Structure 1
Amino acid sequence: MGCKVLCPSVALLAYLMICEHVRAECTPPSFASRNVVLTANHLSTQSFSDGSTVTFECVIGHKPVNLKASRSVTCEQNQWTSLELSCTRKSCGSLADFLNGRYDMTGNLFGDTAKPVCHTGYMLAGKETTRTCRDQGWDGRDPLCEPVKCSAPPALENGQLQDEPLDSYDYLDAVSYRCNTGLNLIGQSTLHCSEDGTFKPDPPKCVDGCLTPTIPNAKRIGGKSPPYKLGNFIEYKCEDGYTLKGDAYIVCKANGWSPEPPQCIAECTPPSFASRNVVLTANHLSTQSFSDGSTVTFECVIGHKPVNLKASRSVTCEQNQWTSLELSCTRKSCGSLADFLNGRYDMTGNLFGDTAKPVCHTGYMLAGKETTRTCRDQGWDGRDPLCESVKCSAPPALENGQLQDEPLDSYDYLDAVSYRCNTGLNLIGQSTLHCSEDGTFKPDPPKCVGKLWLKLGNLQNIFIKHDLYLIS
């Protein structure tokens, strides 16, 4: 006679098979891209139970895009609901021009700055203070711009001003120097009161001959060492890695060096304009440095073509810098691939580097290995594949059962076969299988069993750890 009631020991075993149900919790929510932050009463909480609701507010300097948007989210099944609130930077408005000046502004939103700039002929009184757009508006106040004044110009050793000096000078007022008899004036004889309240350029010098030239990265290879009298000469050569600009041979004359002393300009390193999808032509690839005035040419990298066919492809080394490159290249197009017999392509695009994956129509399958095609420099590689009709071989045999009909050597797509179990056995699973798109029967074949199967219902968060048997 079968057992009708579970004994206490079996009930205990069943209890041990059940895992404790753990209720899901949420971690602190974050919606940084919306410029929001949790309100103060939620900031220190590290976890939130299911059903908890929290509120957000705009970060400092921001305001809601929509005043009616909900500011709350709720923890549901370990996930937070969507947040409607989104905030944008507050506006401080534009700053008006002030007396004898204006503002150079980066914008008028929170965090933007406004730098005061005086009109020509005026200068800031006191230290320059850049204003910033804060949460409550622009900080600081308008500065004061007062007329430029220069104090008396500097004295000249072995020389003097052509006119009597004044106590102060207005903007752009000029003064001129002259040297004592028998000395040469080297530099600019006339200076002007400039916008920063000083005379510019630097005052000249009065010398008996010429000042020693200062030429960085140059070495003297001819002529005498200083001091230099009228008629003395110097010949220069640049150090390795630098190019001479000007004349190497100069002579000391009544008005200074003639011609002007040369310069040694650093050579350029190989240029790179990677963002334009270009590369140096082959004849320049191995060169490691380029002298001032050198010109090089570029071409498109493989798989690319010029955006503008008339754009210049050359750049020139000028003062240790390359000029701008006009040439810019974009990916070549291979065009779209047409559908093929019994199939089509699933394409990522039709430009260089894009791919096209062959997909057979329903009821057909690829003959051979699937090969994805790629857009190359000369067009699409590979060729159209062959999609042939789906065929399934004989279905698998069933232990303790058989097919209801005689098996065939092969089956077409969606052809069906049905199983039955031997007498006294139960069929568990689907009795009917179909020839599927990958050439196999699906679903998995059923089983013929003689045991009693106990099906557990939809129990969430419960785990079975051991097998349970009812013994008759």
Structure 2
Amino acid sequence: MHIPTQSCVLYLWMCALTFVKSEECTRDNFISGNLYNSNFDTSKLDATYPLGSQVRVGCSIGFTGFFKLFCTLEGWKSVGSICELRSCGHPGDAPFAEFDLVKGDDFVFGSEILYKCDIGYRMISRSNTRRCVALGWDGVVPTCEPSRCPQIVPQENVQVIGDADEAMYGNVVRFRCRQSSMILDGPEEIYCDENGKWSDKPPTCKELICEEPKIENGRVRDFVSVYRENDIVDYRCNSRYKPVDARPSKCSKVGVGAEWVPKPLCELVKCTLSQPPLRGTTYVRTMKSVFLPDETVTVTCEADFWIGTPETSQQLVHCRNNGNWDILPICNEKRCGRPDEQGVAYPWNRDRRGQTRPLGSVVRYTCGNDYSPTDDRSEATCTGNGWTPNPLCEAKCSPPRGYSSLLQDANRWEWMKKLGHTQTYTCRTGLRKPEGVQRATCTADGWMPNPLCEEITCGTPPAYDRLAAGPRKWTTKPGNTQPYECMSEYKKPEGVQRATCTAYGWIPNPLCEDKCPKPEIENGFAVRASTGIYYYACNENYRPLIDGWWHDVSCNGDEVGGRIRCIGEKKCGQLPVIPHATLEDTANDDYKEEQHIKIMCDRDYKLNTPHITCQAGKWNMGQLLPDEICTPNHTPCGPPPKVDNAVITTAYQTEYLSRTIVTYQCRDDYVMGPKDSLTCKNGDWGENVIHCDKCCQDPNDEALPTTADVEEEGSVTTGTNPDLVHDVSTTSNKEVEHSTSGP
């Protein structure tokens, strides 16, 4: 009985303990239960709560919500909502910018947005992001301002069109050269990009220069490497090729660049045929449409068609070297147009321009005044040789107006003649026939000459513009004389003082003659200008001795001065000037094709080509310029070093040949050191050992002016002004030395 009693007591105690525990709720039970969410803040919860307790559960930082726990016999019960992320609302728009959500899915705690300025704007705020924190969005809405490009400072000869100082994104500035003879070297326009940078560097202006064109199937005949504005390139196409454009190609400004206008191009010389042939035209045994020079094709015309002449129905046509057919290979329909003769009237006076009529057409016609039909029925027929009869109308001449007062022994019926008839006649006293006329002729326009006779008078003399002084009115009768004077470049014929009117005009004729006779030029011709200068050019296949296609010579006293001579176009005239060189055979001025002229360079210069050659009338120097033929053997030196209180006793140069010696001379009151000269050695003057020392000076004397003072006054120079060097040298007895002798 004792053991069962103890067991019963233990059981009751355990039941009582279990009941007490069941009346409490714990924090651990909540955390481990299904009501818990990681967004809750449980740091402030007690470990246990008695039955019936109400507990407000807070949210972690960045979360929000209203959540209560109730401790019941069944454990924790809840009301309210769980903790959710806290919203920061809209972050705010930035002018000229957009933003993207770069972290998170909404504007809630922990999310982050990134602002980006619009194209052409830049961020000036320190930060371009905002984050949603517990108290809302951090920072401020950033600011964007327009991107600006740096100021453009163009070269002096470049003109800027547009805002080059305050340019913003999208602004465009354009450039052009202030001088029309220059072109842009760089872009014609640039723009300010979204990053505040210019799209390209500003251009510069350079001289308008065209390079030698590369001509396919042709070659340039000039020995020129650089062409300037308006220069014309002389080129020739290869055999069987011809220029595309007959105009000369000129170096021209096109837009902002330099181009050849028109572009020098060569095309194959060819003649073309229309395939298939035009109506009425047949080509004999050929189907091709392109022919080379000297090739031929036979053209046959169908009935009522002709080629060459209206009587020809078949013709062999040749392709010429210029790409044209000697006869157009097209058969023409035989038709009759307006008769090509005088006096024809109806019906052709009513036809439209270019209107023709087919073969066999018969029309009745009339003739104009002073004409009559040659056909009795006044009918014209269109034939293969044109209108028949031929001519359709015949002109008739009636007596000329006023013939009785002009002619001796005038007979009316003698002057009623047909077209082409000639008539002898004699003019009355005081009248004469026009110069060169012996007989009168009946023409479609009446009797010729008209009038038949004219009064014998002297009018304005020929070459009137040569007179310096004379009567205003020159019209007078034979036998009268007039005083006159010639212009300075003309003279009266020897022994003549006055002009005399004769039946044959003024004597002498001309009244004034050239002081200098017109030069007789073999293979050429000359034209005199009003200034007295003769301009001359050469005949085909010849050219002047001096370069160029024409030249001028002036009148010196009674002679024409200057070298007037025409040589073959493939010969060469005067020799080119080649610095530092001697050319053989310089006495000659007429050099033949492929003739070589030997070149000898001066001492200390090396020869880069042994000779020049006459080719096609120009001197071929082997692609070298004249100053590139003889070049120094050694590297030249620049100006010698400056020495205080001294000058160099020769004129200033920018370059000195190797082994050139320059001598210094001290100013007054200074003496030269041990050495007074330096020698250029392959581009180097060596160590400067020249110095000028002050002579002995009384301590009481005032200090002499410094070199800089003297130079400022312009009385002493260091070799930059030859005139000042001469002034200093006259004050010293030192000998001026300068040597360019070789080793």
TM bracket (short chain): 0.3 to 0.5
Q: Under a length normalisation based on structure 2, what TM-score does the superposition of the two structures give?
A: 0.23
With a CA cutoff of 8 Å and minimum separation of 6, indicate the structure with the bigger relative contact order: 1
Q: Under a length normalisation based on structure 1, what TM-score does the superposition of the two structures give?
A: 0.32
